[in-house]
Amino acid sequence: LQPPQNLESHPASIRARCLAALHESLLQRGISIPDRFCDGLTFVIMIDPVRLPSGGVVDRSVMERHLLYTEADPFTRQPMSLSDAVGEEALRGEIREFLREHGVEHGVEHGVEHG
């Protein structure tokens, strides 16, 4: 696999940076983020959590970016594609509610969502 020439401008990279900025903003406001809301690879808050075949949970944008480098589950190195990742809708709803409770505007949320 060859990652795109300009990986930093790839949509998955942009979303990952937005998630990191959101996470940092919450921490700077003194808001404690539950561990279950954090990506298993980047340890920043997720907006679109997906469960991988290994059982690990990551944000879809993080997995999209990872798959640009290698078509494998990052926790087990077993072959996989994005279609193998299963959306965690209940967790996604909990995260959305948490963000609403802490004053994160719906528009900001959509700025880092993936479809």
Domains of the chain, first to last: 7-112 (3.30.40.10)
DSSP 8-state class, residue 79: B
Q: Residues 42, 16: contact at Cβ < 8 Å?
A: yes
**22: Cβ contacts below 8 Å, ≥ 6 apart:** 44, 45, 47, 104, 108, 112
58-104 pLDDT, tens per residue? 999 999 989 988 999 999 999 999 999 999 999 999 999 999 999 88
pTM attached to this predicted model: 0.80
